[in-house]
């Protein structure tokens, strides 16, 4: 579905991505884990068209898309759920969801409504708050809303930047259970996470990133046995 080949991105003089390559097969959940500053957000931002890579390719269903701007990326099927969620506090939950559907506003309204119902089925708690201002939701529910908004554009690939950020352990569990459901539904997801343990719980394939490069890759069951991964990312010596 999505392939990233030898991607390089700079922030001014900071060479944040130094030749990153990986694949996200259709229907899979692929996770990139790594410490603060490893380049994970830069990677997602580059795939989503927010940053311009100076070398390398982003290939979606066989087509190179790395030169497209963020809005065109959404239309092509790449939807980013950003770090810190970026919910519109004063708008209702429903209007925030509708914003995610903007590439389809000119299209079939009934279809948009059906998708909204699917999202409410996925996140029943949101359904009870559709008319409420989104700013009043808890952090966990705002994360669910951000994911729901991302799904409203009917993405081919959903990019998730640190969904566990700032959430209590119980809520992290809830969010990752939802991601598991998304995966079972066949949604293709690229997740970046500092919380390696949570990421390994849901991912089909995990890439470990450090200082702008992929250092290791493998299935979660393989990586969990790797001593370097245990020491650096899973808190076991
Ligand atoms: P975090 O979990 O803190 O978001 P990360 O793994 O996502 O970390 P990035 O945010 O991609 O890492 O940062 C990679 C490097 O690029 C860091 O050195 C960071 O300081 C730098 N960087 C990130 N964004 C910018 C920016 N907009 N302008 C300048 N430098 C940036």
Check if 36 has its Cβ closer than 6 Å to any atom of ligand 1. yes
**pLDDT confidence of residue 110:** 87
b/e burial code for range 118-137 (CB count within 10 A of at least 16 → b): ebbebbeebeebeeebbeeb
0.90 exceeded by pTM: yes
Write the residue with the smallest CA distance to atom 9 of ligand 1: 39
Check if 50 has its Cβ closer than 6 Å to any atom of ligand 1. no
Domain 2-233: top CATH class: alpha beta
pLDDT of residue 60 exceeding 90? yes
**pLDDT confidence of residue 12:** 92
- Mean pLDDT over all residues of the chain? 91
Span from the CA of 45 to the centroid of ligand 1 (angstroms):
10
- What is the ipTM, given to two decimal places? 0.91
Write the residue with the smallest CA distance to atom 26 of ligand 1: 11
* Ligand 1 atom with the shortest distance to the CA of 17: 14
Check if 163 has its Cβ closer than 6 Å to any atom of ligand 1. no
What average pLDDT does this structure show over 41-48? 96
| Among 18, 35, 39, residue to substitute to test ligand 1 (most atoms within 8 Å of Cβ) | 39
**pLDDT confidence of residue 230:** 82
**pLDDT confidence of residue 45:** 96
Write the residue with the smallest CA distance to atom 30 of ligand 1: 11
Express each pLDDT in 68-120 by its tens digit.
999 999 999 999 998 877 899 999 999 999 999 887 777 788 888 899 999 99
| Among 18, 31, 40, residue to substitute to test ligand 1 (most atoms within 8 Å of Cβ) | 40
Write the residue with the smallest CA distance to atom 29 of ligand 1: 11
Express each pLDDT in 150-192 by its tens digit.
999 999 999 999 999 888 888 899 899 989 888 888 899 999 9
Check if 40 has its Cβ closer than 6 Å to any atom of ligand 1. yes
Q: What are phi and psi of 228, to 5 degrees?
A: -65, -40
**pLDDT confidence of residue 237:** 41
The DSSP string of the chain is -EEEEEEEEEETTEEEEEEEEEEE-TT-EEEEE--TTSSHHHHHHHHTTSS--SEEEEEETTEE-TTS-HHHHHHHTEEEE-TT----TTSBHHHHHHHHTGGGTTS-HHHHHHHHHHHHHHSHHHHTTTTSBGGGS-HHHHHHHHHHHHHTT--SEEEEE-TTTT--HHHHHHHHHHHHHHHHTT--EEEEES-HHHHHHH-SEEEEEETTEEEEEE-HHHHTT-HHHHHHHSS--
**pLDDT confidence of residue 162:** 94
Check if 42 has its Cβ closer than 6 Å to any atom of ligand 1. yes
pLDDT of residue 236 exceeding 70? no
Span from the CA of 39 to the centroid of ligand 1 (angstroms):
6
């Amino acid at each position: 579905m999505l392939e990233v080949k030898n991607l390089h991105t700079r922030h001014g003089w900071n060479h944040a991505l130094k030749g990153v390559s990986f694949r996200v097969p259709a229907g899979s959940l692929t996770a990139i884990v790594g410490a603060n500053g490893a380049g994970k957000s830069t990677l997602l931002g580059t795939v989503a068209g927010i940053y311009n890579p100076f070398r390398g390719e982003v290939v979606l269903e066989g087509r190179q898309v790395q030169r497209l701007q963020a809005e065109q990326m959404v239309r092509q099927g790449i939807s980013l759920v950003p770090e810190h969620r970026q919910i519109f506090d004063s708008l209702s939950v429903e209007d925030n969801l509708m914003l995610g559907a903007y590439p389809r506003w000119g299209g079939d309204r009934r279809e948009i409504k059906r998708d909204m119902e699917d999202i409410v089925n996925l996140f029943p708690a949101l359904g009870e708050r559709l008319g409420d201002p989104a700013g009043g939701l808890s952090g966990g529910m705002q994360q669910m809303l951000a994911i729901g908004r991302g799904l409203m554009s009917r993405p081919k690939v959903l990019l998730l930047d640190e969904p566990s950020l700032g959430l209590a352990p119980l809520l992290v569990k809830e969010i990752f259970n939802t991601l598991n459901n998304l995966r079972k539904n066949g949604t293709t997801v690229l997740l970046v996470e500092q919380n390696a343990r949570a990421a390994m719980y849901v991912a089909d394939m995990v890439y470990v990133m450090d200082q702008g490069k992929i250092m290791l890759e493998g299935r979660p069951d393989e990586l969990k046995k790797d001593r370097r991964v245990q020491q650096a990312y899973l808190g076991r010596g």
